[in-house]
Chains A and B, each alone.
Chain A
């Protein structure tokens, strides 16, 4: 299991755009399961109870970033690499998650080509699948200069 502090050592994302709370299962380079809790106090709940679709996609992509980032860290602890969101295909939303729910984020690499990784990505609330499709991450050297944000 991976807590927020360790997640932040892999992802450069920070508040208010760090959208995964905990990693429950991880096979680095292959797949991962993360969670995002929706408490109701977050900035995106403005007069409505829904977790926006776009942010759900970002949550899934961030779990993908951890799957790839943890692998890269095993191979080269000093290297500075990061994933960039490159695309989404055939992604279906069944319903929105709402405040008070815990979203389970499951991603698995299905295909990779040099620095491009295609994932199947699914979001669940309990046993209910609320969304799913394919996401594409481009993973390589961090475009950021200077010290790593972590």
Chain B
């Protein structure tokens, strides 16, 4: 991770993860929306680590340019690569990819609304 810039995070996919039991019975595939959630959570970690102090409240405001290109299946190790693209009026825009062995499985822009709740300053 480079604070204020980018993060690389990873998640393993395994067959007995709870949501996969219904998506789909006998044919486990990671739901695309949970891959999107992985990108958003990676962005949140980067966001939290990019503020030096002060409590933040943030809120997923918008998602855009989301593309699901390849299914994630048990046995895969997915890497989330997320970059902070811009900060504008309390809105932080991140661009993320989910990759498997370098191949792009999904990509998304996630935009968070960020408010500092206590006195603090941004790096």
**Using a CB–CB distance below 8 Å, which chain A residues touch chain B?**
12-18, 43, 52-55, 57-58, 61, 84-93, 133, 144, 146, 149
Contact = CB atoms under 8 A, between A and B. Distances in A.
A48 to B, nearest CB: 13
A53 B18 CA distance: 18
Interface string B61-90: 111111110000000000000000000000
Q: Which of A16, A87, A90, A133 has the most CB of B within 10 A?
A: A87
Contacts of B37: 52-54
Interface stretch (B4-12, B21-29, B48-56, B93-101): B21-29
B19 interface: yes
Given A54-B33, A54-B34, A86 B26 contact: no
Nearest to A16: B22
A43 B19 CA distance: 9
B66 A87 contact: yes
A17 B66 contact: no
Given A54-B37, A61-B33, A91-B62, 11 more contacts: A14-B21, A14-B25, A15-B21, A53-B40, A53-B63, A54-B33, A57-B36, A87-B68, A93-B59, A144-B27, A149-B27
Contacts of B40: 53-54
Given A16-B19, A54-B33, A85-B33, A149 B24 contact: yes
B44 to A, nearest CB: 12
Nearest to B37: A54
Contacts of A93: 59-62
Given A91-B64, A93-B62, A57 B22 contact: no
Contact of B64 (A85, A90, A144): A90
A85 B32 contact: yes
A25 to B, nearest CB: 24
B62 A15 contact: no
Interface in B33-48: 33-34, 36-37, 40
29 contacts: A13-B24, A14-B23, A14-B24, A14-B25, A15-B21, A15-B22, A53-B37, A53-B60, A53-B63, A57-B33, A57-B36, A57-B63, A84-B68, A85-B68, A86-B67, A87-B65, A87-B67, A87-B68, A88-B36, A89-B66, A90-B62, A93-B59, A93-B60, A93-B61, A93-B62, A133-B62, A144-B24, A149-B25, A149-B27
